[in-house]
Amino acid sequence: SALGHLNDKEDAPSQLKIVGVQATGGMIAGAVTSCVSTPLDTIKTRLQVNQNKPKASEVVRRLIAEDGWKGFYRGLGPRFFSSSAWGTSMIVCYE
């Protein structure tokens, strides 16, 4: 009814189309989340495992020197898949 199809059942989107749109939204949300949070998580992990307790700025400089900017996105593939799967399942199940 919110889409304006309360009385016109012929033009209403099918249930499959609605679930498809919701699943696509979940995948996009998961992709954006993983792209934004992966660099922060990489820095956090390096801070946690380093015995010397360096500052975050030192970790960032060392990471750029060792791996370049792509070092911030190490592990993006699995995180991308996981976040997209969780986002999709959450949105589809919620709706």
pLDDT, position 93? 81
The neighbour count for residue 85, using CB atoms within 10 Å, is: 13
Distances (CA, A) of 34 to 8, 14, 49, 77: 40, 31, 21, 9
Residue 76 banded pLDDT, cuts 50, 70, 90? confident
Give yes or no for residue 65 having a pLDDT over 90.
yes
Give yes or no for residue 64 having a pLDDT over 90.
yes
pLDDT, position 61? 94
Measured between alpha carbons, how far is 73 from 41 in angstroms, rounded to an integer? 9
pTM above 0.95, yes or no: no
- % of the chain beyond a pLDDT of 70: 88
